[in-house]
Structure 1
Amino acid sequence: MTQAPPEDHRGRALYRAEQVRELDRRVIASGVAGFALMQRAAASAWRYLRATWPEVRHLSVLCGGGNNGGDGHVLAALAAAEGLSVQRILVKPVESLEGDARRAAEMADAAGVGRQPWKDGTTLSGELVVDALLGTGLAGEVRGASRSAIAAINASGRPVLAIDIPSGLHADTGAELGEAVRATHTITFIGDKLGLHTGRGPARVGKLVVDDLAAPREAFEGMTPAAWRLDRALVAALLPPRERDAHKGAM
């Protein structure tokens, strides 16, 4: 079950990408290793995937070169461990990866998950596509292999689970940076991102869930959200029903 970070009377807190990176840093500083946090994120996405699509037996997981791709590698390993067939597609070779992303890719290798490089014309064979290409650090227009992979995802006709943010979407503005994944569902971590609710965000995110990955409340202290997302209950309280023939100036 996913959980959202703390809320107050203003609704749900929305953060910019730089703020979420700082929240990540604080969680790691509290004693959670970076790779352990990656494993939490991947496990959360995997549980959500199974709960949402319990009948799926074959996944296509597209992994980028950063930690977002690392989440995809770990999810692929978890899926294989439960007997699913996994098509793991890499836009960067494992040998070029670093840090936790490299460790995650090697974890999937050790789990027996095959891998293939992305090439134009690659067929996505899974019943469900997992988008783990690009994360919240994206600032410039998507180009090259990542852009053609995004186009293939969108043309596949398959349901899509985006990890943290649909690839190609700007985490702060919701701008589509050339081309962005049209996700069916998105699961985002630690803090909800402003760009998931602005610009092209609502048209690209699909159903959104937020998991704070058990981040300690102290991690959010002193962090002023970039905005607040009002919930339906709050809007209903502020805007009570009006008579159908009420004058526009009536309170």
Structure 2
Amino acid sequence: MQTLPPTLYNTAQIQELEQRLIHQRGISGFALMTKAGAAVFAQLHKKWRHARTVAVFCGAGNNAGDGYIAAALALSAGLSVDVYALVSPDVLKGDALTAYQHYRAAHGSVSTFSLGQPINADVIVDALFGTGLDRPVTGQYLAAIQAINDSASPVISVDLPSGLNANTGTVLAAAVKADCTVTFIGLKRGLLTGEAAEYCGDIIYASLDVPEEVFQDVQSTVYRVLPKTFPRRDRCIHKSKNGHVLVIGGDRGYIGAVMLASEAALRVGAGLVSVATRKEHTGFISVHRPELMCHGVDNAEQLTSLLEKANVVVIGPGLGQSHWAKELLLAVIHSRKVSVIDADALNILAKIPAAHNNLLLTPYRSILTPHVGEAARLMNLPIAKIKEDRFTVVANVQKKYGGIAILKGAGTLIATADDIGVSTSGNPGMASGGMGDALCGVIAGLLAQGFSLKDAAQQGVYIHGKAADMAAMQDGERGLLASDLMPHLRRLVNH
């Protein structure tokens, strides 16, 4: 499988890359278009070698030009090609017009797409919209996307699935569900997060032979999270050198959350893990996992000595939002301990006075791990607003609360004050209770062993998702449990 490049770009940066190629490197726009169309056809032929008929949907811009080039190559290869134009070719301009003329010179024909028109093809090429789309899809374009999605034919999208926002990964009213997306020049950040996972299929990157120096001229602070090799342990190491994690939570009825977080911290290598929870839970936890040190706490005063012994704190799993929960959270914040703040601790944090929130800012080192709903509460925004632009939201959470902010979901985002990492490990089977508890335990276990805040957050998210992928490979995604990740977490940190 192809390895995608690490750096991700927004549409403005992609446009800058293209302009530098054209004006500084003397590479014509049509030359780039020709390479793009060729890359699409090469992938089409590779994936669907026995295809004999191709339907190409073309819009009005350069994306349509890529489609016309691919259509001309399909004709030259002896395939039967139907091109459906959403606009009259008479309105095409520049390189897109040249591409259309190139296709017509190959004796290609063009039909106007009409509502309800059946699509009979072995493969569909989606060349309706490029990276410039920034408003909801309507009219004939909406009908065309629906027709493509209703077809039983496999779909290959040009640069990105039409209807998907290249910056955010959100669907603009409707989007093509592609089996494969061939993307060019720079890898668009919107392909790897949000709703994009449902629409892109296999992502194939084609650089179009862009010189490496051009990329160096256009800097991006968004990148894919890549796995790191864990350092070898000293043969004489002592458990105290591997850190002491304190997990706080497990209000009545929620004992499982602290158990999952605590075991995950142990499984990734923390030397010691303590649990502070309701007194009635301690015996059960000790029987289930005797390696954990369990303490019943009724108030913040009883938490003091446990905080002193720990070098990393997790608070939130099963915490609830009672007076007890709020008191423990404030004790953690005022302790200034390195902390992973999750679940109900985030919901409490969203409600407490700003004076306490300010304590989270530098130099206090915290990692916040909200999902979309928790992020909405932290930022006092509707959930729909959070989904519109995950990159902006995670950056704003980090700015408001300091430390590291993680926005969970397909294509989890990890924001520092300077950059954003995107982790694409994981699968839909993770949409089950307890997964977030395991994640915060993984991150805390890495922090306890001396990983930096940034590395613990990024590698924690990555290996958590990778463990879920490994578990799903064995028995499938449906029915995947957070506890199924534990043996795979251990394997990954010893790989």
Instruction: Identify whether the pair has TM-score above 0.5, normalized to the shorter chain.
Output: yes
Deviations 1:189-214 (A, max 9, x none): 00000110122111110110111110
1:138 aligns with 2:133: yes
Distance 1:226 1:182, change over 3 A: farther
Please tell me whether the aligned partners of residues 16 and 226 of structure 1 are also in contact (alpha carbons under 8 angstroms): no
Residue 79 of structure 1 is matched in structure 2 by 74
Corresponding residue for 2:162? 167
Q: In the superposition, relative to structure 1, how do residues 3 and 229 fare at CA in structure 2: closer, same or farther (>3 Å)?
A: closer
- Give 1:226 shift: 4.2
Shift in alpha-carbon separation, 1:67–1:237, aligned structure 2, 3 A: farther
Separation (CA, whole Å) in 2 of partners of 1:136 and 1:121: 27
Q: Is the 8 A contact 1:90 1:116 kept in 2?
A: yes
The answer to whether the 8 A contact 1:174-1:196 is kept is yes
The equivalent of 2:190 in structure 1 is: 195
Is 1:103 paired with 2:98?
yes
Aligned to 1:64: 59
* Structure 2 counterpart of 1:49, from 35, 40, 44: 44
Indicate if the aligned counterparts of 1:194 and 1:226 stay in contact, CA closer than 8 A.
no
**Structure 2 length normalisation: TM-score?**
0.47
Letter in 1 for 2:22: I
> What displacement does 1:165 show?
0.4
- Give the distance between the partners of 1:119 and 1:203, measured in 2 at CA: 27
**What is aligned with 1:186?**
181
How many residue pairs are counted as aligned between the two chains? 242
- Equivalent residue for 1:9? none
Q: How far off is 1:217 after superposition?
A: 1.3
Work out whether 1:27 is the aligned partner of 2:17.
Answer: no
Q: What is the identity percentage for the equivalent residue pairs of Structure 1 and Structure 2? A: 38
Runs of 4+ in 1 over 6 A off after TM superposition: 238-241
Question: How far has the Cα of 1:224 moved from its partner?
Answer: 2.0
Is 1:174–1:198's contact at 8 Å kept on the other side of the alignment? yes
Distance 1:216 1:123 in 2: 43
Superposed CA deviations along residues 147-197 of structure 1, whole A, max 9, x for unmatched, are 110010000021110000000000001110000000000010000001101
SS of the residue aligned with 1:87?
A: strand
Q: Which 10-residue stretch deviates more, 209-218 or 130-139?
A: 209-218
Change in 2 beyond 3 A, CA 1:237/1:204: farther
TM-score of the superposed pair, with normalisation by structure 1: 0.90
Query: Quick check: which has more Rg, 1 or 2?
Result: 2
Structure 2: unaligned runs, 5 residues or longer: 232-264, 270-288, 293-440, 449-495
Distance (Å, rounded) in 2 between the aligned partners of 1:67 and 1:165: 13
Structure 1, 198-207 or 220-229: larger mean CA deviation:
220-229
- CA 1:241 to 1:224, structure 2 compared with 1: closer, same or farther past 3 Å? farther
Q: 1:132 is aligned with what amino acid?
A: A
Residues 99-248 of structure 1: matches in 2 within 5 Å?
A: 99-231=94-226, 233-234=227-228, 237=230, 242=268, 248=441
Tell me if structure 2 keeps the 8 A contact 1:13–1:229.
Answer: yes
CA distance in 1 between partners of 2:133 and 2:94 (Å): 19
TM-align CA RMSD: 2.2
1:34/1:240 CA distance change after superposition, 3 Å? farther
Unmatched 5+ residue regions in structure 1? Answer: 6-11
Q: In 2, are the aligned partners of 1:62 and 1:72 still within 8 Å (CA)?
A: yes
8 A contact 2:16–2:218 mirrored in 1: no
Give me the whole-angstrom Cα distance separating, in 2, the residues matched to 1:34 and 1:56.
Answer: 30
Q: Deviation at 1:222?
A: 3.3
Pair 1:2–1:133, CA change in 2 (3 A) = farther
